[in-house]
Amino acid sequence: MIKDFLVLTRDIIFRMKTDYMVIGRVRNAENMLQLVKGIEATGSSCYSCLHKPAVPEARDLDWREQMNILESHKDFWNDQNHINHFETDMNGLRNADTVVMLLPAGMATHMEAGVAYGLGKRLILIGEVEKPETLYLMFKERYSDIEGFLESLKKS
């Protein structure tokens, strides 16, 4: 269950070096969680946005409900939850050796992939691209599904 997933403090996230960071749409949380747990089962460390609640004061709610609350803030520029998510996710990108993007993904996830590329991170894409775009060429490794990617980790 997503609510039971490990919640890390901001301090830990700021200092944490990881082998992988998984980026994707929070509304695809079940698949993201499967991917994170699969990576961790190989002995690798992994960070994703699921390591922290979307809205700390509503942490007992389902992720979808938390996201509805988070996205309802009209002044996201000054909302502390939005600021904290930005800071922790940027640090997650800086501190990861490899960034894995799970499709389908939204605009924010694609922006994170661009940041990761700019930081010189190894980028892996999982899922099928619906509309070809030249910038998907930044992903040198591609897998059609989570299982295929996790199987490749077992072989390495």
List all residues 6 or more positions away from 44 whose beta carbon is below 8 Å from its beta carbon.
19, 20, 153
Cα(89)–Cα(13) distance, integer angstroms = 9
Cα(65)–Cα(76) distance, integer angstroms = 17
What is the pLDDT averaged over residues 130-140?
Answer: 94
Residue 156's pLDDT band, with cuts at 50, 70 and 90, is confident
Q: Are 103 and 80 in contact (CB under 8 A)?
A: no
Residue 44's pLDDT is 94
Cα(129)–Cα(132) distance, integer angstroms = 6
Tokens 């890390």 correspond to what residue?
Answer: 8
pLDDT digits (tens, 9 = 90+) for 94-116: 999 999 999 999 999 999 999 99
Please give the model's pTM, rounded to 2 decimal places.
Answer: 0.87
Residue 14's pLDDT is 56
- The 10 Å Cβ neighbour count of residue 59 is 12
Average pLDDT along the chain: 88
Assess whether pLDDT exceeds 90 at residue 154. Answer: no
Q: Taken in order 7, 10, 16, 20, is the CA torsion positive or negative? A: positive
What domains, with CATH codes, occur in the chain?
Answer: 2-155 (3.40.50.450)
List all residues 6 or more positions away from 37 whose beta carbon is below 8 Å from its beta carbon.
none
Q: Which amino acid is at 80?
A: Q
Assess whether pLDDT exceeds 70 at residue 71. Answer: yes
